[in-house]
Amino acid sequence: MITRFAPSPTGPLHLGHAYSAILAHDMAQAAGGTFLLRIEDIDQTRARPEWEDQIYNDLEWLGLSWDTPVLRQSDRLEAYQARLDALWNDGLAFACTCTRRDVMAALAAPQEGMLVLAGPDGPIYPGTCRDNDKTGGTGHRPDDAAIRLAMHHVADRMPDQLIFTETGTGPQGETGPITVTRREAQDTIGDFVLSRRDMGTSYHLSVVLDDAAQGVTHVVRGQDLFEATKIHIILQSLLGLPTPIYHHHTLIRDDAGKRLAKRDDARALRTYRAEGLSPADIRQMVGLPLSSDPKKSRRRP
């Protein structure tokens, strides 16, 4: 078993991150496997070296250890570009110059007050740029525009349904085999962004390529990413990559039941550390067993 923790160095780690990291670590340890760390720093406008240092520092303090080297997404841009080019050259992608506002306006146009369907990657793309002349298969890929996956072409190559195994739970209690049908891919996911403007990649493309490159067998992460997994298995199928097992866990919420955000410094691990709490206190606060003894860990839901 190979698990990973993949934080973005854009703010302090909070209790929710601690839960995710400890769970992934303990699962690998209980199985005699490997726990890996990946720094998701593709958004160079928000990533900061001091947050990356704080991540190592907090995780060490929690008593976690991981196999080195740590993979940093900013070192992987060439690998992302190579796959993006392949999809482009295959005619499976197109350039999109829409702003978020354009997308919303196009969606609202047919009918005032129309319900905007939200997919795992935001509102379903209305297709504005789909048939422009900047479509893959012809010419070179512009790098001053977003690149979207041409789902209507991809769907032609997809099996009737794709499937992944969920060993945790999705937000609606989804567990076991989870399917994504070709219909669903077109109607509820659509042309998601493969590469953001001036970034050369997206969260979805990077995470799928990295999980494969790192040989991750079990993706342990928060339920907020459950819907995104449907995008990820489509990409894995398209790129000929293995689909890991997914274990989505519940989110740690604050006392008011709101999910913790990076900006809530109150719940930052370093704040608890400064207040004198111990790693054992943190394990207890997130409801994880103190011992990472395999038998005890396995009893966890």
Assess 129 for contact with Zn ion (CB under 5 A): yes
Q: How far is the CB of 15 from ligand GLU (least distance, A)?
A: 14
Q: Assign 299 to helix, strand or coil.
A: coil
Q: Which does 225 bind (CB under 5 to 8 A by kind): ligand GLU, Zn ion, none?
A: ligand GLU
Window of 6-14, 87-95, 168-176, 239-247 that interacts with ligand GLU by CB under 6 A: 6-14
How would DSSP label each residue in 163-216?
EEEESS--TT---EEEEEEHHHIIIII-S-EEE-TTTS--HHHHHHHHHHHTT-
Number of residues written out for the chain: 301
Judged by beta carbon, residue 107 or residue 234, the one nearer ligand GLU is 234
Q: Which residues fall within 8 angstroms of residue 49, CB to CB, at 6 or more apart?
A: 9
For residue 224, what are the contacts with CB-CB under 8 A and spacing of at least 6?
171, 251, 259
User: Does position 201 bind ligand GLU by CB under 6 A?
Assistant: no
Residue 13 or 95 with smaller CB distance to ligand GLU: 13
d(CA 134, CA 140): 8
**76 or 130: whose CB is closer to Zn ion?**
130
Per-residue mark of binding to Zn ion, 65-104 (x: CB under 5 A): -------------------------------x-x------
Q: Which of 128, 188, 214, 223 binds Zn ion (CB under 5 A)?
A: 128
Q: Could you give the CA distance from residue 162 to residue 153 in angstroms, rounded to a whole number?
A: 16
Alpha-carbon gap, residue 127 to 145, rounded angstroms: 15
Q: Is 7 in the site for ligand GLU (CB under 6 A)?
A: yes
Cα separation, 267 vs 14, in Å, equals 5
Give the residue with the Cβ less far from ligand GLU, 40 or 191: 40
CB-based contact 62:273 (threshold 8 Å)? no
Give the DSSP H or E segment for 146.
strand 146-149
Instruction: Confirm or reject binding of residue 180 to Zn ion (CB under 5 A).
Output: no
By a kind-dependent CB cut-off of 5 to 8 A, residue 207 interacts, out of ligand GLU, Zn ion, none, with: ligand GLU
Contact call for residue 6 and ligand GLU (CB under 6 A): yes
Q: Which of 30, 98, 106, 225 binds ligand GLU (CB under 6 A)?
A: 225
The one of ligand GLU, Zn ion, none whose footprint includes residue 96, by CB under 5 to 8 A per kind, is Zn ion
The phi-psi region of residue 171 (left if phi > 0; otherwise alpha if psi is between -120 and 50; otherwise beta) is: alpha
8 binds ligand GLU (CB under 6 A): yes
Residues of the shown chain interacting with Zn ion in the complex, contacts defined by CB under 5 A: 96, 98, 128-129
Residues of the shown chain interacting with ligand GLU in the complex, contacts defined by CB under 6 A: 6-8, 40, 207, 221, 225
